[in-house]
């Protein structure tokens, strides 16, 4: 049986479901009933659509309405972080399995799911393991929301935050990512607050512009990773296309137009971006853009780089704190199971 994208109900927005049921000659309210069953009650079978007439359920049953991402494996860390590897299906005639990952993160008041937006990534950030994987394509909307749904089911707990910081560049899969974020935010779905959903980009300027123009309500994070315009391109290819000065310009426009802070992520790499001069430049940026800065210690040893020592982290961070900038050290939850930032694809992923 061939299931076309049109027939998959999971991952459709409410208005897409309305059009779908209208085309079947069904009343409009079927759309909101279906939306709730799928996105709030996380239905796994059409049998759970109890308000639907049997005949209608039977028609939909033939159509692969509720696909699921199979979990290939999961690994639990000592700190409560859990890494889930999913099989995102096959591409065309290729036999290669397309594996993606999502990570469950716990902190005293939060349950956060970190999700993937692509299988692999077309960007090549020198410090990131996902960049070493073969890129196999964008995820569909249903494959994005289903990572969250599957983790909620498995953990038996509610999620408070979702971050698009897993594999891939969310702003290279803009439409599916934004549609997924709206579904997670929808009051008839999980009803996650827009500020509890964070989309992180390495700096794809046209997508950031679109995000501003559409006044998307979600948090935006930019992976800055270097404060020096002449050097950022050496660790992040994307900087050659969308250079730092232009990126900062658009970040400023985001804060002014939407009257919000932007988040900058900064992966700390000793001998690369942690010197006093780098810290001074980062202070300058922090003063010129309304932002919050998340520092992440390097978690991989790609390029022969190493993780910063506690003393190095403290020294770098203190320059920023002395300048009164809101700086946080995100640490490396899940490091022992290769689930920390930039480690996805390190172990267990197929290329
Ligand atoms: N492509 C998007 C989404 C991925 S987010 C982006 O770049 O924003 C992944 C985050 O982990 C980014 O903030 C990135 O800077 C950080 N990161 C990548 N590799 C890392 C590594 N080896 N150690 C620590 N952090 C890393």
Which residue in the list 18, 82, 99, 101 is annotated as catalytic?
101
Q: Is 91's pLDDT higher than 70?
A: no
Q: Is 3's pLDDT higher than 80?
A: no
Q: Which residues of 7-32 are buried (b: 16+ CB within 10 A; e: fewer)?
A: ebbbbbbbeebbebbeeeebeeebbe
Q: Which tokens go with 143? A: 């494959």
Q: Is 169 in the pocket of ligand 1 (CB under 6 A)?
A: yes
The widest CA-to-CA distance across the chain, in whole angstroms, is 69
Q: Is 208 in the pocket of ligand 1 (CB under 6 A)?
A: no
Most confident range, picked from 53-57, 62-66, 206-210: 206-210
Hey, which residues does 113 pair with through a beta bridge?
A: 104, 162
Per-residue pLDDT at 1: 47
The full DSSP string for 8-19 is --TT--HHHHHH
Over residues 127-151, mean pLDDT:
94
Q: How far is CA 57 from the centre of its chain?
A: 33
Lowest mean pLDDT among 54-58, 115-119, 164-168, 210-214: 54-58
Average pLDDT, the chain: 93
Q: Which tokens go with 67? A: 């696909």
Q: What ligand 1 atom has the least distance to the C-alpha of 201?
A: 8
Per-residue pLDDT at 346: 77
Q: Which tokens go with 162? A: 């979702």
Over residues 321-350, mean pLDDT:
84
pLDDT grade, residue 90 (50/70/90)?
Answer: low
Domains in the chain, CATH or no CATH each: 5-63 (1.10.150.530), 71-337 (3.20.20.70)
Q: Is 300 in the pocket of ligand 1 (CB under 6 A)?
A: yes
Per-residue pLDDT at 97: 65
Over residues 232-260, mean pLDDT:
98
Nearest CA to ligand 1 atom 18: 342
Per-residue pLDDT at 63: 72
Q: Is 116 in the pocket of ligand 1 (CB under 6 A)?
A: no
Nearest CA to ligand 1 atom 19: 342
Q: Where are the beta strands (DSSP E) in 27-185?
A: 71-76, 82-87, 99-107, 110-114, 118-119, 137-138, 161-164
Q: Is 102's pLDDT higher than 80?
A: yes
Q: Is 6's pLDDT higher than 90?
A: no
Q: What percent of the chain has pLDDT over 70?
A: 95
Question: Which residues, other chains included, contact 215 with Cβ-Cβ below 8 Å and sequence gap of 6+?
Answer: 257, 258
């Amino acid at each position: 049986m061939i299931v076309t994208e049109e027939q998959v109900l999971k991952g459709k927005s409410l208005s897409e479901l309305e059009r779908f049921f209208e085309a079947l000659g069904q009343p409009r309210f079927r759309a909101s009933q279906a939306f709730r069953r799928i996105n709030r009650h996380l239905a796994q079978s059409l049998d759970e659509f109890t308000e639907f007439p049997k005949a209608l359920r039977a028609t939909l049953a033939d159509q692969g309405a509720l696909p699921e991402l199979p979990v290939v494996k999961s690994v639990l860390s000592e700190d409560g972080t859990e890494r889930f590897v999913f099989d995102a299906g096959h591409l065309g005639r290729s036999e290669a399995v397309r594996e993606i990952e999502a990570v469950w993160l716990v902190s005293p008041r939060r349950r956060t799911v970190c999700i993937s937006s692509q299988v692999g990534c077309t960007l090549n950030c020198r410090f990131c393991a996902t960049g070493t994987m073969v890129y196999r394509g964008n995820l569909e909307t249903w494959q994005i929301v289903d990572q969250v749904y599957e983790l909620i089911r498995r953990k038996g707990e509610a999620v408070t935050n979702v971050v698009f910081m897993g594999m891939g560049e969310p702003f290279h899969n803009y439409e599916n990512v934004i549609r997924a974020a709206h579904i997670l935010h929808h009051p008839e779905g999980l009803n996650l607050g827009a500020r509890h959903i964070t989309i992180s980009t390495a700096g794809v300027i046209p997508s950031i512009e679109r995000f501003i123009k559409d006044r998307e309500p979600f948090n935006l994070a930019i992976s800055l990773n270097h404060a020096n315009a002449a050097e950022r391109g050496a660790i992040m290819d994307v900087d050659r296309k969308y250079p730092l000065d232009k990126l900062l310009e658009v970040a400023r426009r985001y804060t002014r137009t939407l009257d919000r802070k932007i988040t900058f992520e900064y992966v700390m790499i000793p001998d690369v971006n942690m010197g006093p001069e780098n810290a001074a430049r980062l202070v300058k940026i922090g003063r010129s853009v309304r932002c919050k800065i998340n520092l992440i210690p390097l978690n991989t040893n790609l390029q022969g780089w190493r993780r910063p020592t506690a003393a190095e982290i403290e020294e770098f961070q203190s320059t920023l704190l002395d300048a009164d900038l809101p700086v946080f050290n995100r640490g490396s939850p899940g490091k022992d199971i290769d689930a920390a930032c930039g480690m996805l694809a390190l172990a267990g992923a197929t290329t």
